[in-house]
Structure 1
């Protein structure tokens, strides 16, 4: 038997990996690619869907291509911004307030709200500290809704939850250091709005090629009766107090059942790929 520290020594046999990781190198396809290379089954979206889900610009392009409504936005890279004398030219046509975001980051890190009297350039510089691509979105006055997706080729959508914040917007401070629980499950909505959120969640999931799970976040403009998909999170928070298990519990699916189904989906995908690989060699 090879020594424990010898090259190629096997340290453990993994049945399934559940990569509950957030942000770059966790939910952006990097870990997923490593697990693919190692031929290890893993929970959640694959390489492409993880990468698209992490990159807000690529995500919006995929959603728009499939007719899923998104908030009006513009995107640009660092060289384009540096070559522009007046940053306002880059966001022409977008009324304030604006939300300026790094394209690939999570947990509201690097995001700034830019009101009428705020400095757009400062917000862009903050976003560029985290990424070389910047997304600028038109602010929407409305409710923040969330819906969970679970499944493979025929996924299902959960009950709909709502996030309510005391003031401002759901920034890093409120997400992780807020005292009150901002989540309302299920959200109090007309039946047709709930149905539309669930339908759009499944369409958004399909648009990025999702597998296993995702949480789909929405803005609901009640005055105009419009829904917009803000983003998909391909590896959402998974504590018992996170929105993903809460909206499934409201739909009658327990935390344990959610985990069991996700592990089963990971195994099924792995077996399917193994079968396809054998077929291609022949």
Structure 2
């Protein structure tokens, strides 16, 4: 049987560029080379696209950029694949499925998904609308509220408002301290600050405003951080839950990727059976409320005192690094990394065929 042609998209222009490189390297190394012909497509921080044919190890270090061939995705449905510009000649490589490994804006927010929809190419993960909704923490939380799902109280502030600090202080009074200030559209905990008092609020607002015009200020909860992986289209399944015990006050960007393993990942999470099942069922409800496809990692906060679960956020392109929770949770649930990737590719094809089905 002919190998499926898989394009792995990595890099991108967001603040999570380096995380994407780590995830892509891991995915490429774990895709079954007997089943797939792999095309590595890197996007630089400047937005330049390249087809890369070199050593996978050079992706994580960024050295791949020196060896890339200028490329783009096809300009119409006639060219469902990769077009290269090499030695004044164009090359064309048809693609069966795209696996976007682009974290954050211009990758996880529906933009790449929209391009692939226009080109009529199947792709792994959520569609345009669901991707956009999950990228924006404010809209995600509003959908949770509408669906009757628990999420911490919050207020929204815009970059242009942060000069009027007194007005913002009044806005957050009912939340109390500590609270969290977050860019609305970013992942990997980039730009997030835990604010303990009013004096820390201005610095936190300025940091978050570097990354987004819309800011989320959320009630702080003395909580355990619980995560659950979800896989599927119409009938999603949830993995066992895991728990993160961060090396810092919360699981920030440095703790996630650069603390040398000081943060603890507890898999499975030390929870009673009934609480574990509650996490899994709530993760599926959140997944369905957002009309997700393919995959997502659902992040929870569990109040240390009451045991109440709160939905924190949903990641439609979760990390796939060697230390990332999404593949680790499935591995312990009985689904090895390479089998997980097979299922994600098959789900992408299933979703595409369902969309194209004539009734």
Question: Same fold by TM (over 0.5)?
Answer: yes
8 Å Cα contact 2:177-2:195 kept in structure 1: yes
1:145–1:161 contact (8 Å) kept in structure 2: yes
Using the TM superposition, give the Cα deviation of residue 80 of structure 1 relative to its aligned residue in structure 2, in angstroms: 4.0
Higher RCO, 1 or 2 (CA under 8 Å, sep at least 6)? 1
Is 1:266 equivalent to 2:336 in the alignment?
A: no
User: 1:77 Cα deviation (Å)?
Assistant: 1.9
Q: Is the 8 A contact 1:214 1:235 kept in 2?
A: yes
Name the counterpart of 1:235. 317
Q: Which residue of 2 aligns with 1:166?
A: 247
Q: 159-168 vs 26-35, which deviates more? A: 159-168
Return the alpha-carbon distance in structure 2 between the equivalents of residues 21 and 38 of structure 1. Answer: 18
In the superposition, relative to structure 1, how do residues 260 and 90 fare at CA in structure 2: closer, same or farther (>3 Å)?
same
TM-score, normalised with respect to structure 1 = 0.92
2:179 to 91, 98, 101: 98
Matched residue SS, 1:18: strand
Q: Cα–Cα, structure 1 residues 248 and 235, in superposed 2: closer, same or farther, change >3 Å?
A: same
Output the aligned Cα RMSD: 2.1
Is 1:131 the counterpart of 2:212? The answer is yes
1:226 aligns with 2:226: no
TM-score by length of structure 2 reads 0.73
For the pair 1:11 / 2:82, whether they are aligned, the reply is no
- Specify the SS of the correspondent of 2:107: coil
Q: Does 1:214 align with 2:296?
A: yes
Give, in whole Å, the separation in 2 of the partners of 1:268 and 1:222.
41
Equivalent residues of 2:85, 2:91 under 8 A apart: no
In structure 1, distance between residues paired with 2:218 and 2:98? 35
Q: Hey, what does 1:187 align to over in structure 2?
A: 269
How far off is 1:156 after superposition?
0.3
Residue among 277, 282, 285 paired with 1:200: 282
Change (3 A) 1:108 1:228: same
What is aligned with 1:55?
A: 136
Counterpart of 2:102 (choices 1, 21, 29) is 21
1:152 and 2:233 aligned: yes
Distance between the aligned counterparts of 1:116 and 1:272, measured in 2? 51
Q: Describe the SS at the equivalent of 1:17.
A: strand
Q: Deviations over 1:201-259 (max 9, x none)?
A: 00111111110000001111131120001100100111343111111112111112211
CA distance in 1, matches of 2:320, 2:247: 24
1:87 aligned counterpart, secondary structure: helix
Asked whether the 8 Å contact 2:134–2:140 carries over to 1, the reply is: yes
TM-superposed CA distance for 1:82, in Å, is 4.2
Check whether the contact 1:240–1:255 (CA below 8 A) recurs between aligned residues. no
> Secondary structure of 2:271's partner?
coil
Structure 2, gaps ≥5 residues long: 1-82
Between 1:142-151 and 1:160-169, the stretch displaced more is 160-169
Distance in 1 (alpha carbons) for counterparts of 2:223 and 2:157: 26
Q: Is the 2:150–2:309 contact (alpha carbons within 8 Å) kept by the matching residues of 1?
A: yes
The CA deviation at 1:174 is 1.0
Q: How many residues get paired?
A: 275
Contact 1:100 1:127 in 2 (8 A): yes
Q: Deviations over 1:87-140 (max 9, x none)?
A: 201212011001001100111111111102632122112111111111001111
Q: Deviations over 1:37-59 (max 9, x none)?
A: 11000000010111111000000
**Which structure has more strand as a fraction of its residues?**
2
Q: Residue 16 of structure 1 contacts residue 41 of structure 1 at CA under 8 Å; is this kept in 2?
A: yes
Shift of 1:10: 6.1
Deviation at 1:76, TM superposition (A): 2.2
CA contact (8 A) 1:87 1:121 kept: no
The alpha-carbon distance between structure 1 residues 16 and 92, as it changes in their structure 2 partners (threshold 3 A), is: same
